Amino acid sequence: MHKQLYIYMAIVSVSFLLSFWFSSIYAIAWMLTTVIIVILVIDLLMLYGSKKTIKARRLLPDKFSNSDQNPVPITITNSYNFKTFCDVIDELPLQFQKRDFSYQVSLIPNEIHNFEYLVRPVDRGEYYFGHLNIYVSTPLKVIKRKFQFQNEQMVMVYPSIIQMQKYDFLAISNSLTQMGLKKIRRIGNTSEFEQIKEYVQGDDFRTINWKATAKRAELMVNQYQDEKSQPIYSVIDTGRVMKMPFNGLKLLDYAINSTLAFSNVALKKHDKVGMLSFSKKIETFLPAIHKLTYLNRILENLYNIDTQFSDSDYGLLYAQLKRKVTHRSLLLLYTNFEHISALKRQMPYLQAISKKHVLVVVLFENTELSTIIKEHAEDLQSIYHKTIAEKFAFEKRLMVKELQKHGIQSVLTTPENLTINTINKYLEIKARGLI
């Protein structure tokens, strides 16, 4: 009987303790829930209760420069009256294939924060930016409020304007001589009539104009100046051979960037510039003109050029040049031959063009082959790959010799150094007076 009483009393005691414990837990849970609700309400009121919030703006330029690092500036203004924590997520164009862009910053009240990030496009065309998303939280960091700005902003990617400006500066400062150009003694001299003036001591007697002297009854001489406005054409092959990519950029785009920078330098050197692009047909032809504003027209035409999947017709190129380019000109032909046999097939047309013009054939070195050649061969397959790579590299040098044998000048360059090597070749030809 006493044993049952003890059991009963133990059960009552445990029940009392459990009920007290559960009531305490309930009270604590209720208090915590109340605190959380209060915090949530305060956070909501702070984020959504003010008319002065966050403002943000993406400052895009009218044009991006292809193959260059282009800055995208962003400005964020905190109009809240408390410190905010912002997570910036920008929706970049599809061409960049980047979906993890994020930038975090904390802003005090009324602070204006500016930052920028860089993008490198490798294709010309239209690039559409999506929303500029700003996720804002208070110092409590319980809730985030989403803000969206500037959806569907579009920017055009043009040939490398940054590169053009860079080499424009180098040409003006004569710094190109430090980058590989050797001064060559000018052979021959070309000049054009400028005016008739009175003879002064020191003038060349051979320039005396006897008819003007007879009319004026005093010695008159012809004054000449060096001929500067010479026609220069960039000829771009848009066939399938120019689709090969290096560092994400097609050979065609390297040629386009070089054409823009080279044309700008030639205009500053008082020459006439024009351009021609071809594959199975003549796609673009701009006659050579000496006018600084003409560069904008060249830029617009370069923007629309694209590669084709067919072999280029050099016979058509020769016929077009014979019909359209009647004055002796400097022709820079941007193309690519991977085999010596391909060059020999087109050699009759190249020879025919070089008889009337100064032709420079611009060829590209395959930098991937150079990497393979430098690697140490450890097995039979590596030896095979290295041997084939050396064969192709040797054929490139053989092409240069083949062109020289027929009196055609050439530039063999890596894609990255195309622009500087082309401009150097142009300045060399100018210095030698070959045009």
Stretch 21-26: mean pLDDT: 62
**Percentage of the chain exceeding pLDDT 90:** 46
Let me know whether 299 and 324 are in one domain. Answer: yes
Helix (H, G, I), strand (E, B) or coil at 204: coil
Res 411: pLDDT? 93
The answer, yes or no, to whether residue 232 has pLDDT greater than 70, is yes
The answer, yes or no, to whether residue 317 has pLDDT greater than 80, is yes
Stretch 184-211: mean pLDDT: 67
Res 26: pLDDT? 67
Let me know whether 211 and 292 are in one domain. Answer: no
Based on its alpha-carbon atoms, the radius of gyration of the chain, rounded to whole angstroms, reads 36
Asked if residue 140 lies in contact with residue 42, where contact means CB atoms within 8 angstroms, the answer is: yes
Burial class for 300, CB neighbours closer than 10 Å (0-12, 13-18, 19+): exposed
Q: Which residues of 65-84 are buried (b: 16+ CB within 10 A; e: fewer)?
A: bbbbebebebebbbbbeeeb
Let me know whether 195 and 250 are in one domain. Answer: no
| Domain around 116 | 54-158
Residue 219 covered by a domain: yes
The secondary structure of the chain in percent helix, strand, coil, rounded to multiples of 5, reads 45, 25, 30
- Report the domain count for the chain: 3
Let me know whether 154 and 208 are in one domain. Answer: no
Greatest mean pLDDT among 12-21, 109-118, 388-397 lies in 109-118
Res 171: pLDDT? 61
Residue 47 covered by a domain: no
pLDDT, tens only, 71-101: 999 999 999 999 999 999 999 999 998 888 8
Res 179: pLDDT? 45
pLDDT, tens only, 244-284: 888 889 999 999 999 999 999 999 888 999 999 999 999 99
| Domain endpoint, select from 226, 252, 277 | 226
Q: What confidence tier does 21 reach under pLDDT thresholds 50, 70, 90?
A: low
Least confident of 10-19, 56-65, 133-142, 348-357: 10-19
Q: What confidence tier does 377 reach under pLDDT thresholds 50, 70, 90?
A: confident
Let me know whether 294 and 410 are in one domain. Answer: yes
Residue type, 150: Q
Q: Is the pTM of this model over 0.85?
A: no
Res 430: pLDDT? 82
Res 309: pLDDT? 81
Residue 108 covered by a domain: yes
Res 250: pLDDT? 92
Let me know whether 68 and 127 are in one domain. Answer: yes
pLDDT, tens only, 127-186: 999 999 999 999 888 889 999 998 889 999 999 988 888 887 656 655 444 444 444 444
The answer, yes or no, to whether residue 191 has pLDDT greater than 60, is no
Let me know whether 97 and 142 are in one domain. Answer: yes
Res 182: pLDDT? 44
Residue 338 covered by a domain: yes
CA distance 53 to 51: 6
Res 199: pLDDT? 80
pLDDT, tens only, 393-429: 888 899 999 999 999 999 999 999 999 999 989 988 8
The answer, yes or no, to whether residue 365 has pLDDT greater than 80, is yes
Let me know whether 103 and 90 are in one domain. Answer: yes
Report the interhelical angle of 418-432 vs 161-172 (nearest 10°).
40
Residue 38 covered by a domain: no
Q: What confidence tier does 296 reach under pLDDT thresholds 50, 70, 90?
A: very high
Q: What confidence tier does 18 reach under pLDDT thresholds 50, 70, 90?
A: low
Residue 30 covered by a domain: no
Residue 188, phi-psi category: left (phi > 0), alpha (psi -120 to 50), beta (remainder): left
CA distance 221 to 207: 5
**Percentage of the chain exceeding pLDDT 70:** 86
The answer, yes or no, to whether residue 202 has pLDDT greater than 50, is yes
- The label of the residue with tokens 């009539």 reads 193
Let me know whether 350 and 261 are in one domain. Answer: yes
Kindly list the strands in the beta sheet with 70-78, ordered across the sheet, starting from the edge strand earlier in the chain: 54-58, 70-78, 112-119
State residue 19 phi and psi, 5-degree precision.
-65, -40
The answer, yes or no, to whether residue 48 has pLDDT greater than 60, is yes
Let me know whether 198 and 147 are in one domain. Answer: no
HEC readout, 290-310: CCCCHHHHHHHHHHCCCCCCC
Let me know whether 234 and 364 are in one domain. Answer: yes
CA distance 247 to 367: 10
Could you give the maximum distance between any two Cα atoms of the chain, in Å? 160
The answer, yes or no, to whether residue 188 has pLDDT greater than 60, is no
User: What does the mean pLDDT of the chain come to?
Assistant: 84
CATH number at residue 349: 3.40.50.410
Residue 177 covered by a domain: yes
Let me know whether 64 and 104 are in one domain. Answer: yes
Res 220: pLDDT? 84
The answer, yes or no, to whether residue 302 has pLDDT greater than 70, is yes
